[in-house]
Structure 1
Amino acid sequence: EQLRAKENEVMEISQQLAKLNNHMKSVQKSFEEKAMAKDKQIKALEQQIETLKEQKENESKSIINLNFIPSLSSSSSSLSLSPFTNLQSMELFHSAKQVKTLVGHKGIISSVQFCPFDDGRTICSASLDQSIRLWDVQTAKQLQLFKGKSAFTCAQFSPLHCGRNDEKESKHGPAICSASRNGCIYFCDIQTGKFESIFAGHKDSVTSVHFSPFKGGRILCSGSWDETICLWDASKAQILHTLKGHEGGVNCVQFSPLSNGCAGKCIVNNKDSDSDVVDIGGAGYTICSGADDNVVRLWDVDTLKELTVFKGHKDAVFDVRYSPFAVCFGGGCLICSAGDKTVRLWDTRISQQVQLFQEHSGSVRCALFAPFRSAESNATASGNSTASTQHVVDGRQSGAVIGWNLHSIESNTDANSNVKRHFDHVFFGR
């Protein structure tokens, strides 16, 4: 009986050992499967890390480096664009096709600008979603994000912070200047993604900013809904002078791209300035401004006086731009868009309207001259000749962008005539 009991005990132990062995094999198999799965996950993560590193390297190569690019100087203050260059831009314009879409903003985009210091490879955009973004044109990817606490109405690359200017080396990195609804102007450091400088002086929303094409962009012009235009020393965040005359909020300002070749200083007694001596250094240059009082005003930078008032619009003027070319309709030209559904061309020499575009169904938010001319062959009494054709583009509240051929207008209409059905391109992107 004792022997039988021992045999039973041995048998039970053997069964327990067999069960334990099977359990160990099951645990080992499970462990091996989990280890293999972990190895696969690790390999996948390593591949993702390598991919991200490659993307980061590619993006870092795309980020603009303005430290070694000369900014606008007094000797080359007006960017000179050849009338018959930039063939690719002309071909894209004539195709009227959407090329890329940049996605990221969560609100209305109030301003966009191609960088003038890297051949337009990057774009900065301002939005009412309280952000400014930097984009790579080729990849359509976001490079940098500046997040503020107020809606941004305008953003421009700063020529003063491009590494070198006509006066001294810049102590700051490349920057974007932005205007805000809270009445302040911000300078955003592109490399750090932080707001470095704040200009406070306006009493209402700042709607527009523009750098001077002289003195290395040191003079900054800003327009505001407080009905004033301020001239700043951008290197010191100091107001030099305040231009007053508009009877409504100022929506847009711009320095003229061309000068009469003069140079000099102006001395004014200005209560709004911290100093009685204002060294603007912009003799021969002018500033144009459009406002809610339905008029466009032209200001002399040298004397800081109002030169003329262009009246004709029946609603707020949203955008005013100078022609980038020395001659347009035989003289210097301004193009203006307004809430009265029209775009108008003005001759600054004679202070008169020379063309009226009325083919609009709603407010025209912006208008500008194309930065190129195309060559066209025209038959004349003496034979064939080649003439340059200028184009203008306007953006409408409806979402359409319209391109106009000024050559056909000049050839077929008289001054001050209403222009209808002379647009040659329609762009729809929405």
Structure 2
Amino acid sequence: MKFSFKFTNLMGTIYRNGNLAFSPDGNSVISPVGNRITVYDLKNNKSRTLSVESRYNYTNIALSPDGSLLIAVNERGEAQLISMISCTVIHSHKFKSGVQCIVFSPDGAYFAVAQGNVVLIFCAPGEITGEYNPFVLKRHFIGGYDDVTWLDWSPDSSLLAIGCRDSSTKICAVKFFKNFRTTSLSGHTDAIVACFFEANSLHLNTVSRNGQLCLWECSLAPSDLTEKTRNENAEPQRKKKPPTTAAGSGNESEDDVDNVIEKTDTLAVPDDENEIKDESVRKAHPFFYKKLARHYLANEPRKEHRDALLTAANYNPRTKVMVVAFSTGAFYLYELPDVNMIHSLSISDYPISTALFNSTGDWLALASREIGQLLVWEWQSEQYIMKQQGHSSEMTCIAYSSDGQYIATGGEDSKVKLWNTQSSFCFVTFSEHTSGVTDVQFSRNKKFLVSSSLDGTVRAFDITRYRNFRTFTSPTPAQFASVALDYSGELVVAGGQDVYEIFLWSVKTGKLLEVISGHEGPVSSLAFSPSAISSTLVSGSWDKTVKIWNCLESNSEHESIDALADVTSVAFNPNGEEVAVATLSGNIIIFDVKSATQVNTIEGRYDLGSGRLETDIITAKKNAEANYFSTIEYSADGECLLAAGKSPNICIYHVREAILLKKFEITKNQSLDGLNEFISRKHMSDFGNMALIEQREELEGGKVAVRLPGVRKGDMSARRFQPEVRVFCVRFSPTGQAFAAAGTEGLCIYALDKGVVFDPFDLSLEVTPKATHEALNNREYTKALIMSLKLNDPNLIALVLERIPYKDIELICADLSNDFAHRLLQNLARMLQSSPHIEFYLQWCCCLLTSHGNRDSAFQNPALLALHESISRKYEMLNKICDFNKYTLRVLLDTARERENSNQTNGDKTAMDESDSDSEMLLIRTQDEGSLKLQFSDENEDDSDEDDVSENEDAN
């Protein structure tokens, strides 16, 4: 087994905080998810998470007009310049404080950053500006007396509109113009939420938090602004220049930018110069704004909710449509400048955090931070392009389907969700549970799944029809902590958390078959034997015992094993001969199922590692002594063990050698608690740790930043605190190519690195790529194929396979040994995912399985499951295309028949209009044609009847 697993995707979490960004073509939306960034491809229905990771949660992102650069800023003011082509961080920059918003100019030459009440203009690196030094400061402005809330560029990238919390809007120029003066617009009575320029003009629309919309008309057009050369004698108030570097390139360091921010009071234009008092001054300064109208947009939501506030707004100048979203979860579409309401819709009861139109104005993206929801809506057809929502609270359990195509997740929000591993989208949500879901399990035939919950029920969900078809309950109310299905999928068991018993039901009838007693503590974990000929059940409990049951016999016949500590998790080896037990002491014990003897012990307490919470009064080293693994899972081949617990680390152990092979850290997000081993001295005072002191905020209603004592998973009070980092569940994919970890950040997927890795098999000196090509040219296909399999180069294997004639496939498959046949099947499963030669590779698979797939098969289960997964994906993809083509051909054939019938009818009418001299011949001909027509219509009726029968058969 290889261990080059790398982070590939983040599922289960759709949106956390911050603004959204559409790609230039409008087909993809970029969403900040914690300290990572996810790109949702709406056209191909896929999502991918960038490998870029920040130290804190992202709050603002901005995409360049050409889509090649992305600037992401976290909550501590750390900015990253990311290349969307290579998906790597080009440069990092640290601002003095947090950033409210960041926007690229339409021409891509500049980007503006709002920091407090200061706006900084930077030159964007690239070919447009000719500047390749990142974050080169060009200009800076004072926005207002309070923080800046919104920035918007004019269409020609010459002016910048700055909306502030003090209800004012300021118009500033990036360049120097003769007939321009900095203008401040007032007239709102609440904080500015957004302001937008009109297309090809300098007219402005401003929206405030209380729902007021003001329309402003500019006295000048963009073409009327004439640029002038900066003259320091003519502008004495701008004589001080920001400091530059020693090289004189204009690239400013971090300290220089901070000095500039502190001195901006002397560089700003005085406010009294913005006022136009008389006509003479107006002629000298012809640039001014006139308020055309004021509209109140909050009347509709305030009829039901008096305290409704406008939380987000966006405007598309091309379609002249504005969207305004409120704290009640409702949003409204208005057409400007008449302010006619086009549509209104409510998506939830929670505030909408951000709203954004794409470049064409057809799609509208809305996101809610409270519930982690992101949806893209096409307002013209009133259809959802994408509607995704993660678990509103922590994800507690996960399970892979038998072919690795689906992942089921359960959370404390009492929901069970199904995710597609190929598209990374959730395609169904089951909300029948009324309390937290503790465990989920797929059936082997992938037709249904079962879930246990603290509400006292175990529910079975049909994956085909998306419904809850069975509900299993106990005679007395009990909270279920674990669930398991046997190999056949006919028996389901659940262990009680408050009742120390195991309940056994029949899936077909839904009846309780047996109540298995014997444990003296909560049953923490259950596992059925993966063997088809065994019905062995292993249960682990907090009473420090592991019991082995035979569910087909009496419940009194069992074998008990003393684990010396509370059992937290049990897992069966895929061969069904061994079981791994994780205990509270931090050890993993391997037992033989048949003899009930201990085989091996893995001591992993100190491998897990531990951090120190902000409110902890003990050290991280002392914390590590109480660490334990809460979830374990065998790899697909049974050689390794995956383990995780109350830590950001995931460990992979070799079972036989009992050694740590590799350790993965799921996150570096400092916004979570429990990552640091030491508390910074700046947080320590004479009275102790500052985190233990309640910091009340006057403007936020008296909220405090300390959680309630004893709270670990979620604080349902009004207090705010940092979530504690931990891994709740880990599962290996049945194909062995990936594993999933459910943690505080979401569902992290780690897959084998598909890069260039030299990993040969049975290599010798004469086996080289050159020798392989020579054997291929000499038509020695078997020799060339074996050499390519020994080199284990995917490109070389694909080249050899596609050069082999179709008629020789069966003979070559019969000549391969079992080892090479198994390796070839693994490569075929991978090639089927991307190759267009589907029939060719399916012929290879059929011949391999026919030649080597006997009773003593050389193929391992992961290789067959990987092949099954690839074929299932191809079938789902081609099934829609084939159905579409089939129905299209039917429509074309029906249209052709109708046209043929209409042409014959027109021919009959033309023949009736001929001269009377040929009436006798006409009568004979029409009689003959009538009989032919009658015969043809009978044939058509027969054909239509046959079509109806075939359609009914297809429907059945």
Give 1:254 deviation, angstroms: 1.8
* Alignment correspondent of 1:62: none
Question: Following the alignment from structure 1 to structure 2, what is the Cα–Cα distance between the partners of residues 87 and 112?
Answer: 15
Residue of 427, 445, 450 corresponding to 1:99:
427
* Alignment correspondent of 1:262: none
Question: Following the alignment from structure 1 to structure 2, what is the Cα–Cα distance between the partners of residues 335 and 95?
Answer: 25
Unpaired stretches in structure 2, ≥5 consecutive residues: 1-401, 408-418, 609-623, 673-724, 759-956
Identity of aligned residues (%): 20
Q: Which has the larger radius of gyration?
A: 2
Give 1:144 deviation, angstroms: 1.1
* Alignment correspondent of 1:395: 742
Aligned 8 A contact 2:738 2:752 in 1: yes
Aligned 8 A contact 1:158 1:217 in 2: no
Query: Which shifted more, 304-313 or 197-206?
Result: 304-313
* Alignment correspondent of 1:335: 642
Aligned 8 A contact 1:108 1:127 in 2: yes
Question: Following the alignment from structure 1 to structure 2, what is the Cα–Cα distance between the partners of residues 111 and 368?
Answer: 12
Residue of 537, 540, 560 corresponding to 1:242:
560
* Alignment correspondent of 1:22: none
Mapping for residues 66-105 of structure 1, pairs under 5 Å:
92-105=420-433
Note closer, same or farther for the CA distance 1:406–1:296 as it changes in structure 2 (3 Å cut): farther
Give 1:190 deviation, angstroms: 2.6
Higher strand share: 1
Aligned 8 A contact 1:230 1:239 in 2: no
Question: Following the alignment from structure 1 to structure 2, what is the Cα–Cα distance between the partners of residues 340 and 407?
Answer: 24
Question: Following the alignment from structure 1 to structure 2, what is the Cα–Cα distance between the partners of residues 230 and 369?
Answer: 25
* Alignment correspondent of 2:448: 122
* Alignment correspondent of 2:628: 316
* Alignment correspondent of 1:61: none
Note closer, same or farther for the CA distance 1:88–1:228 as it changes in structure 2 (3 Å cut): closer
Give 1:239 deviation, angstroms: 3.9
Note closer, same or farther for the CA distance 1:246–1:357 as it changes in structure 2 (3 Å cut): farther
> What letter matches 2:746 in structure 1?
A
* Alignment correspondent of 2:439: 111
Question: Following the alignment from structure 1 to structure 2, what is the Cα–Cα distance between the partners of residues 300 and 92?
Answer: 36
Question: Following the alignment from structure 1 to structure 2, what is the Cα–Cα distance between the partners of residues 98 and 153?
Answer: 25
Aligned 8 A contact 2:487 2:531 in 1: no
1:152 paired with 2:480, answer yes
Note closer, same or farther for the CA distance 1:323–1:146 as it changes in structure 2 (3 Å cut): same
Give 1:400 deviation, angstroms: 0.5
Give the TM-score, by structure 2 length.
0.27
Aligned 8 A contact 1:201 1:239 in 2: no
Mapping for residues 161-180 of structure 1, pairs under 5 Å:
174-180=490-496
1:355 paired with 2:718, answer no
Mapping for residues 284-303 of structure 1, pairs under 5 Å:
285-303=577-595
Give the TM-score, by structure 1 length.
0.57
**1:95-123 deviation per Cα after TM superposition (whole angstroms, max 9, x unaligned):** 2221211111111111111111xx21111
* Alignment correspondent of 1:203: 520
Residue of 740, 751, 757 corresponding to 1:405:
751
**1:308-367 deviation per Cα after TM superposition (whole angstroms, max 9, x unaligned):** 2222234221111111225xxxxx110011112321101112110111112245111110
SS at match of 1:106: coil
Aligned 8 A contact 1:223 1:229 in 2: yes
Question: Following the alignment from structure 2 to structure 1, what is the Cα–Cα distance between the partners of residues 628 and 756?
Answer: 27
SS at match of 2:533: helix
SS at match of 1:132: strand
**1:103-161 deviation per Cα after TM superposition (whole angstroms, max 9, x unaligned):** 11111111111111xx211111100111100101133211111233110111222347x
Question: Following the alignment from structure 1 to structure 2, what is the Cα–Cα distance between the partners of residues 305 and 189?
Answer: 31
SS at match of 1:357: strand
Give 1:399 deviation, angstroms: 5.8
Note closer, same or farther for the CA distance 1:106–1:355 as it changes in structure 2 (3 Å cut): same
> What letter matches 1:99 in structure 2?
F
**1:248-280 deviation per Cα after TM superposition (whole angstroms, max 9, x unaligned):** x21211221126xxxxxxxxxxxxxxxxxxxxx
Question: Following the alignment from structure 1 to structure 2, what is the Cα–Cα distance between the partners of residues 87 and 254?
Answer: 18
**Quick one: higher RCO (CA 8 Å, sep 6+), 1 or 2?**
1
Note closer, same or farther for the CA distance 1:243–1:405 as it changes in structure 2 (3 Å cut): same
Aligned 8 A contact 1:204 1:226 in 2: yes
Query: Which shifted more, 338-347 or 195-204?
Result: 338-347
Residue of 706, 728, 753 corresponding to 1:365:
728
Question: Following the alignment from structure 1 to structure 2, what is the Cα–Cα distance between the partners of residues 98 and 399?
Answer: 17
Question: Following the alignment from structure 2 to structure 1, what is the Cα–Cα distance between the partners of residues 738 and 433?
Answer: 30
Question: Following the alignment from structure 1 to structure 2, what is the Cα–Cα distance between the partners of residues 308 and 409?
Answer: 35
Note closer, same or farther for the CA distance 1:87–1:310 as it changes in structure 2 (3 Å cut): closer
Question: Following the alignment from structure 2 to structure 1, what is the Cα–Cα distance between the partners of residues 745 and 451?
Answer: 18
Question: Following the alignment from structure 2 to structure 1, what is the Cα–Cα distance between the partners of residues 423 and 508?
Answer: 36
Give 1:237 deviation, angstroms: 1.2
1:231 paired with 2:548, answer yes
Residue of 160, 167, 190 corresponding to 2:507:
190
> What letter matches 1:310 in structure 2?
I
**1:164-207 deviation per Cα after TM superposition (whole angstroms, max 9, x unaligned):** xxxxxxxxxx3311111111111112344332201000000111
SS at match of 2:420: helix
Unpaired stretches in structure 1, ≥5 consecutive residues: 1-80, 163-173, 260-284, 327-331, 374-389, 413-430
Question: Following the alignment from structure 1 to structure 2, what is the Cα–Cα distance between the partners of residues 179 and 409?
Answer: 44
Note closer, same or farther for the CA distance 1:253–1:409 as it changes in structure 2 (3 Å cut): farther
* Alignment correspondent of 2:954: none
Aligned 8 A contact 2:632 2:730 in 1: yes
Give the count of matched residue pairs: 266
Note closer, same or farther for the CA distance 1:410–1:104 as it changes in structure 2 (3 Å cut): farther
1:220 paired with 2:548, answer no
Aligned 8 A contact 1:316 1:340 in 2: no
SS at match of 1:126: strand
Q: What CA RMSD, in Å, does the superposition of the two structures yield over aligned residues?
A: 2.6
